[in-house]
Amino acid sequence: MSQIPLPKPYQDTEPYWQAAKEHRFVLQKCGDCGQHQFYPRGVCSHCLSSNLEWEEASGNATVYSYSVNYRAGHPGFAAKTPFVLAIVELAEGPRMMTNIVDCDPESVRIGMPVKICFDDVTEDVTLPMFKPA
């Protein structure tokens, strides 16, 4: 069975993936303008400050949009169809892409409250995902 494409951590993203591996969900907050951002970057996308801090996030979010995918765009997902591709809005503000899991794919709705969970894809990689709250 084909493997899904796995993140290759780099300077900006290493702490995020390390935390995920420990089943912690962390977000960057700017030490200068105070705003959160997602995805992790080397600078704040709101003010370009390099003064960024990692913060434990609530893990609470709502579904901003979703699509039940019946066809895999990458062979690694063939065995997972139908799966729910989603963008969630985190309680802290930023949006992120994820999958909504642990539910009937057809039951997902926009605005639905969801909660963080973790999928240990390999020994080295854990993906944060969301399930109905």
Partner 1 sequence: MDLNNLYRKVAIAGVAESDIGRVPHKSKFQLSAEASKKALDEAGLTKDDVDGVFTTIITEGGEFSSMLMAEYMGIKPRYTDSTSIGGSSFVAYVEHAAMAIATGLCNVALICHGSTNISDRGGKAGPVSGKETVFGPAQFEEPYGVSTVGSYALAAQRHMHEYGTTSEQLAEIAVATRKWASLNPLARMRDPITIEDVLNSRMIASPLHLLDCCLVTDAGGAVVLTSMERARDLKKRPVSVLGTGEAHTHRMISQMPDLTETAAKISGRLAFERAGVSHADIDVAEIYDSFTITVLLTLESLGFCKKGEGGAFVENQRTAPGGDFPMNTQGGALSYTHPGMFGIFTVIEAVRQLRGECGPRQVGGAEVALANGTGGVLSSTGTIILGRE
Q: Is 1 in the site for partner 1 (CB under 8 A)?
A: no
Q: The tokens of 82 are what? A: 């139908």
Residues numbered 75 to 114 that lie near partner 1 (CB under 8 A) are 75-77, 80, 83, 85-87, 95-99, 110-111
In the bound complex, what is the minimum distance in angstroms from residue 75's beta carbon to partner 1? 4
Q: The tokens of 119 are what? A: 């999928």
In the bound complex, what is the minimum distance in angstroms from residue 89's beta carbon to partner 1? 11
90 forms beta bridges with: 61
Q: Is 65 in the site for partner 1 (CB under 8 A)?
A: yes
Query: If you search the block for the tokens 């290493």, which residue do you land on?
Result: 14
Q: Is 67 in the site for partner 1 (CB under 8 A)?
A: yes
What is the spatial distance between Cα 88 and Cα 6, in angstroms, rounded to a whole number?
Answer: 20
Question: Letter for the amino acid at 113?
Answer: P
Question: Letter for the amino acid at 31?
Answer: G
Sheet of 36-37, strand order: 36-37, 26-30, 52-56
Q: Of 96 and 132, which CB lies nearer to partner 1 in the complex structure?
A: 96
Q: Of 6 and 48, which CB lies nearer to partner 1 in the complex structure?
A: 6
Length of the chain: 133
Phi, psi of 9 (to 5 degrees): -60, 150
Q: Is 3 in the site for partner 1 (CB under 8 A)?
A: yes
Q: Is 38 in the site for partner 1 (CB under 8 A)?
A: yes
Site residues (CB under 8 A) for partner 1? 2-10, 13, 38-39, 64-77, 80, 83, 85-87, 95-99, 110-111, 121, 125, 127
